[in-house]
């Protein structure tokens, strides 16, 4: 993956089998928080809105959604059945993407955290 700060460059370097899933997650995040900006942080695409919001990435075995909040992931344990989750990271595959309602919940909670609520 590229050393660029451009998310499109990052996605261009992701294996084709994961690119669509990550692009779909990216679009979902943008839809739920259109004010968020994106850039590469810690070598992965990261959204910012009043601080770091969420991020995503690809590894050799699948995709990851970085909630940046282990407590939030723990509180959503029942909603994460079928997904591998540890710390603030949720792993998924293109065949089993994250439900939009879950992404919306995570983005809303992270934004509330960033706004001090």
Q: How many domains is the chain built from?
A: 1
61 in any annotated domain: yes
Q: Note the pLDDT of residue 1.
A: 40
Query: Are residues 52 and 113 in contact, defined by beta-carbon separation less than 8 angstroms?
Result: no
Query: Are residues 57 and 90 in contact, defined by beta-carbon separation less than 8 angstroms?
Result: no
Burial classification of residue 85, based on how many CB atoms lie within 10 Å of its CB (0-12 exposed, 13-18 middle, 19 or more buried): buried
Its domain, for residue 35, covers: 7-114
85 in any annotated domain: yes
Q: Note the pLDDT of residue 43.
A: 93
74 in any annotated domain: yes
46 in any annotated domain: yes
| pLDDT of 3 above 60 | no
Q: Note the pLDDT of residue 7.
A: 95
2 in any annotated domain: no
1 in any annotated domain: no
User: 89-105 burial string, b = 16+ CB within 10 Å, else e?
Assistant: bbbbeeeebbeeebbeb
pLDDT band at 80 (very low <50, low <70, confident <90, very high): very high
The predicted model scores a pTM of: 0.93
d(CA 40, CA 47) in angstroms, rounded, equals 9
Q: Note the pLDDT of residue 94.
A: 96
53 in any annotated domain: yes
Place of tokens 């942080």: 41
13 in any annotated domain: yes
pLDDT digits (tens, 9 = 90+) for 23-77: 999 999 999 999 999 999 999 999 999 999 999 999 988 999 999 999 999 999 9
Q: Which CATH number is 18's domain given?
A: 3.90.1150.200
| pLDDT of 2 above 50 | no
pLDDT band at 4 (very low <50, low <70, confident <90, very high): low
């Amino acid at each position: 993956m590229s050393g660029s700060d451009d998310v499109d460059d990052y996605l261009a370097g992701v294996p084709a089998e994961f690119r669509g899933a990550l692009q779909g997650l990216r679009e979902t995040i943008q839809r739920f928080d259109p004010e968020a900006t994106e850039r590469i942080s810690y070598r992965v695409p990261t959204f910012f809105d009043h601080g770091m919001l969420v991020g995503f990435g690809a590894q050799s075995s699948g995709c990851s959604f970085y909630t940046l909040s282990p407590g939030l992931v723990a509180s959503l344990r029942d909603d994460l059945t079928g997904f591998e989750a540890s710390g603030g990271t949720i792993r998924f595959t293109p065949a089993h993407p994250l439900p939009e309602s879950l992404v919306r919940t995570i983005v809303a909670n992270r934004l509330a955290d960033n706004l001090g609520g």
